[in-house]
């Protein structure tokens, strides 16, 4: 991990920083299974997927993070993976946000971009809030227990569960 990433993560709470470092390391451990041209960006996105919590503008961290990283010159692949991580579109929809905020991060001309997404989702959804290794079941339970039933995140994760499982399975199936 480079110094720039470390510096950006310093803006997060200790728990989010520890989680982010663990997600980045987890992606690093499987990055050799990704197409070579996407490895570094996938690792960077994994480390920085939650950076938007440290630089809030809209208050929706996947888009705040992607906009912030774009302004720093990070690649379209990194910004895409951060914007779309772990069913962020479902949460945006539950929040009633304008989904057009995602448009600039679609980066559809990149080969195997969906594999990068699957790997980042897998790393995030198998890593706990303190960096511990979890199964996807444990991780979903952990999130659902941290947020009140009826809250935005609880509703979003409940709705996104099948999609999250599909993406996690897609990643583990290609490892």
Using CB under 5 A as the criterion, which residues of the chain lie in contact with Fe ion when the complex forms? 50
Give the Cα separation of 130 and 22 in Å (integer): 8
| Identity of the residue, 52 or 76, whose beta carbon is nearer to Fe ion in the bound complex | 52
Distance of CA 153 to the CA centre of its chain: 14
Q: What angle do CA 144, 61, 142 make, to 5 degrees?
A: 15
Residue 161 burial (C-beta neighbours within 10 Å; 0-12, 13-18, 19+): middle
Nearer to Fe ion, 32 or 105 (CB): 105
Nearer to Fe ion, 38 or 46 (CB): 46
* Closest approach of Fe ion to the CB of residue 111, in Å: 25
Measured from the CB of residue 53, what is the shortest distance to Fe ion in angstroms? 8
Structure tokens at 117: 């997404």
**Least distance to Fe ion, CB of residue 114, Å:** 18
Min dist CB 129 to Fe ion, Å, is 11
Q: Specify the residue, 34 or 143, whose C-beta has the smaller distance to Fe ion.
A: 143
Shorter beta-carbon distance to Fe ion: residue 50 or 64:
50
Q: What angle do CA 106, 171, 140 make, to 5 degrees?
A: 90
Phi, psi dihedrals of residue 126, rounded to the nearest 5°: -125, 20
Min dist CB 88 to Fe ion, Å, is 7
Nearest residue to Fe ion by CB is 50
Q: Which among 171, 135, 133, 138 is positioned nearest to 30, based on CA atoms? A: 171
């Amino acid at each position: 991990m480079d110094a720039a990433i470390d510096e950006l993560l310093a803006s997060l709470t200790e728990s989010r920083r520890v989680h982010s470092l663990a997600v980045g390391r987890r992606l690093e451990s499987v990055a050799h299974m990704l197409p070579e041209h996407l490895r570094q960006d996938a690792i960077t996105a994994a480390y920085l997927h939650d950076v938007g919590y440290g630089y809030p503008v809209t208050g929706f961290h996947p888009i705040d993070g992607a906009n912030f990283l774009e302004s720093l010159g990070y690649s379209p692949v990194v910004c895409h993976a951060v914007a779309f991580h772990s069913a962020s579109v479902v949460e945006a929809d539950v929040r009633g946000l304008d989904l057009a905020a995602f448009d600039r991060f679609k980066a559809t001309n990149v080969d195997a971009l969906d594999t990068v997404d699957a790997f980042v989702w897998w790393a995030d959804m198998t890593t706990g809030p303190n960096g511990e290794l979890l199964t996807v079941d444990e991780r979903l339970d952990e999130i659902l227990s941290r947020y009140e039933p009826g809250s935005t995140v609880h509703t979003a994760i409940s709705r996104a569960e099948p999609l999250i499982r599909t993406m996690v399975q897609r990643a583990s199936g290609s490892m």
